Structure 1
Amino acid sequence: MAGRRTSLATLAGAKVDDVPGKSDPVLLTLPLDKLHCTRFNPRRNFGTDEELREFGEKLKKEQLQPAVVVSRAAYLKLWPDEAERVGSASYVIANGERRYRASRLVGRPVLEVVHREDVAKTRAAFLDAVQSENNDRQNLDPIERAIAIETMVTELGGADQVAAYYGKTKGWVSQQRKLLKLTPELQDLVSTGEMPVRVARDIAGLPPDTQHHAWQEHLERRRLEKEAGARLRARAANPPAPPAPPAPPAPAPAQAAAEPPRFTAVNHQPTDDADKQNEEPTREVRFTAVNRKTETDAQPAAPRQAYTAVYPSEATERPDGIPEPREESTESTDLPRKRFPYEDGPLAAHHLIRKMPPEEFNRMLDVLIEHRTKQAANAH
């Protein structure tokens, strides 16, 4: 009886694949010309040439994370129309295009990859692998994520399929795609982080021709808010001094009758006689208690000795040389007369001082000082 053949692989308990990498990942080192990048990669910014060159130099020393590839056949099974784009490449990169670009930039001829055919079992699985992050690549920005979701919606046949694949709601899918309604200029601001995603989604709901104006209005509001915040912080750091306590109420003014009348050189008509003042011109009234110099008299006032020599009777009327008050005139006059304030010494002195020529005032000061000095000496 003939014996049955036994596979060595079966005896060893190993899996047998008709295609390498179909069941278990296979680590390979492939030349760059055997690889091709998929067009479904949403990444738009792979970094500057300087950043890619620096990354490529690191890959020359050691590549810690391999790229993920699928066979050409598995890829074209999902997208037959991609045959011309793939060309003669044996593998399509699902994850690791940045490593591929950096290696080419620095002249590195090969790239370490992991061949995983299960990544290409469905379109959704492949597109999800394209979006997944690796240790040596940068995170997708919000616009790139929106492009990735939009690609999945297109390739899977609708937002419902994408929502079901990720276990999300259809509204979540719509929110991701909404950023693509922004103008290209505003999309760049979102990618660089200058425009917050929350603000970008609000502006994306506006017509394209008004989006830029809405963004400028937002910037102006933010500027005003920052200025107001700075003022509040400055005020908190340097609080204003507490207000001074209110001043005590001013004392009630004295009654008009209690105030001594101000003695002026010319008596003016009372305010309640305004009508009469308008009818007749104001007449200047000279003081009756003191003889004043007239406007035509150019000679200075005579001293007391000259005065008493001319009028001897005046020397004995009052010791201070001030004549007795005259009787009120019986002449009819339209203006009232005022008496010299004999009863108020300070007021009378104030009035006389104002009428003194400067030389007489200086002599009076000398007499007062001499008198005060004698009083002080006698007191001691």
Structure 2
Amino acid sequence: MSKADQLGAGRFGGGVRSVSARRQAVAAATGVPTEGVAPPAELPVHRISLNPDNPRSALGDLTDLAGSLKTHGQKQAITVMNRDAYVKANPDREADLEPDTTHVVIDGSSRLAAAREAALPTIKVMVSDDQGTTSEELLESALVANIHRQDLQELDEARALQRLLAIHGSQRALAKRLHRSQGWVSQRLALLNLTPELQARIGEEPIDLLRAVGNKPADQQEAALRELKAEKARKEEKSRIPSNTGTQPTTGTAASPEDDHDGDYDVITDPVSDTAPREHEAAEPATAPEEPAVAGHRTAPEPAAVEHEPPATETGKDTPSVPVQATATTTAVDMGEQPKRFPYEDGVYAAQHLIHKMPPEEFDKMLDLLIKHRDSRTVRTG
């Protein structure tokens, strides 16, 4: 009686799977047994091929990772496929696999390479032939694993997303497939529109600023980046200077980025107190301002117990008639400062402000709505 008959059915599938002719040939050539062997918990590192379709363009310096594996051991298994299953899904890559290997890594190329560098004899693996039946599905499996760990270089991530975009057809469909927002996808793809010079500076320049200028014409990207960096530096410098709440700003001057109070915009038409309604300024007449900020607005009776600062205006400009944006704490008007107008006339400036100040979930909602609006406008004009 064989050992398999004595032990009975295995835990993972109720029986021993048949072995393909390819694996039999590999077993004969390498001496690695296959028949009647359950998926291994460990494999010799030299029997696992690196993935020729790894989303990473380079593995980088593995010295620290190799040292950690050698000193502290491996904490997480890598995911591999049987070689024949990989070749069936991706036949064009068979020649690129390392010779005399029985498996191909799908998730864990860096750990595998570091284990080799550390001269470890074996590595913990999870064998899963369900990673995909096509080359596109294999790429998606590898990409999703790296996305969840935030483990890809920005440009590698963008290139992999571009390949998946060609498969899924639209950013919306791709975002749904990856369980991300459409804004998340579009921001990362924007890096592919950068000039080669700016792409070479990824890692040196702030990635959020590079993504912000990625959708501008190539000849404007460098200037737009300089402008955003200067604005960011001004904001950081201002945040280091204590605010003097007792100093009144000079009136009659247009608001500039340097006047930004704590980096926030107060989009207002009339000054309001902290007790004024946040949604509809006309809800409580008793909290209306003493004087209107825009000619033609009605003036409500002055409340007996509430005092207001004079309305803030800009020389030669009417304050735009837009809803009040009150803050949870004291606003610029309450502190006697010139409220800063939202930069409607500067799309890059407005977008950068929202990227920095808006909660990510609300930003993605806004971005999806703007894209829908742009698409519908294109259909109408087309």
Give the TM-score taking structure 1 as reference length: 0.49
**Larger relative helix fraction:** 1
Which entry has the higher C-alpha Rg, 1 or 2? 1
